[in-house]
Amino acid sequence: MPKKIDINFRKTCSCSDSHINCLTAKEWVKGQVAIWELYYKKRDIRDKDIHPAVFPIALPKKCMELFTHKGELVLDPFVGIGTTLVAARDLERNAVGFDLNQEYINFTNKRFTQAQLNFGKNTKQIAICDDAINIPEYLNEGTVSLCVTSPPYANMLNHRRLNKSLRSDLRKNKHYKEVQQYSNNPRDLGTMRLGGYIDALAEIYKGILPLLRPKAHCVININDLWENNHRYPTHSYIIEAMEKVGYELRNIIIWDKRNLVNKVGIFGWPSNYITLSTTFEYILDFWRKP
């Protein structure tokens, strides 16, 4: 039975207790826009040989700025190679991330020992290899101020990569026709078909809910699925499942990814209109009801 983690969770700044973050009124106004344009920077790791689906540091960073104070505790149940932990270090938030895949956890730990960072010294960022279903064994109730993650998008990575949205001269890149999964572990949400995936995700979030303090936010970055010319609105299935296990939906934010898809090809023309699913993703924001 794993022990509870020794990690601080209380705010260390001098902001008023009634504020939900450390932002000034001017910074808050920018955060109100429901469409987020985010950029991968040099420090972001985008090598698909290391991890097939990494979000930019800017995504968890923005969530932490909106929903936490310095010193508070952030949880990422599907941490991959530790992007959320990097953002937490930058912003002096304590953070714990879980991933089923030991290789990703090893990579995260290496990333942290190599980082020449002078900030975040008074906080801890911890990566643990375990199934997210076991998270309640590691954290005390009411201690987490923000849960932010990008879970697997069901079994989307099970398909051979056809790069359909890329221009035809760029389509046959290194990963063309490759299947690149996180793992073959049957508990890996990336191996599950949609129905089982939603049930497994809901079960994990049901366990996380008591760990959140009242009014703590829980943010999920997700995209819908296309299979055999059908759209499966994963985002709406997740909203339904989250509300069933006790969360309340607060905001739907669109991650505008047009800055990442400038080499698009044509598909569907002239008979089948399908918008490019690579041009945006959902950022679903829930909270633990007060």
Ligand X SMILES: C[S@@+](CC[C@H](N)C(=O)[O-])C[C@H]1O[C@@H](n2cnc3c(N)ncnc32)[C@H](O)[C@@H]1O
Task: State the residues that interact with ligand X by CB under 6 A.
Answer: 51, 53-55, 78-81, 83, 98-101, 104, 131-132, 150-152, 182-183, 187-190
- Closest contact distance (angstroms) between CB of 69 and ligand X is 23
For residue 76, the SS3 value is strand
Amino acid at 145: S
- Helices (DSSP H) in 12-161: which residue ranges? 25-31, 58-67, 83-91, 102-114
Residue with the closest Cβ to ligand X? 80
- Closest contact distance (angstroms) between CB of 45 and ligand X is 8
Rounded to 5 degrees, φ, ψ at 68 are -140, 165
Beta bridge pairs of residue 248: 287
Q: Is 23 exposed, middle or buried (0-12, 13-18, 19+ CB in 10 A)?
A: middle
- Closest contact distance (angstroms) between CB of 73 and ligand X is 18
- Helices (DSSP H) in 194-233: which residue ranges? 194-208
Nearer to ligand X, 8 or 103 (CB): 103
Nearer to ligand X, 186 or 290 (CB): 186
- Closest contact distance (angstroms) between CB of 106 and ligand X is 12
Nearer to ligand X, 51 or 288 (CB): 51
- Closest contact distance (angstroms) between CB of 152 and ligand X is 5
- Closest contact distance (angstroms) between CB of 130 and ligand X is 7
> Are 98 and 74 spatial neighbours (Cβ–Cβ below 8 Å)?
no
Nearer to ligand X, 22 or 96 (CB): 96
Nearer to ligand X, 20 or 58 (CB): 58
For residue 222, the SS3 value is strand
For residue 270, the SS3 value is coil
| DSSP character at residue 160 | P
Nearer to ligand X, 55 or 280 (CB): 55
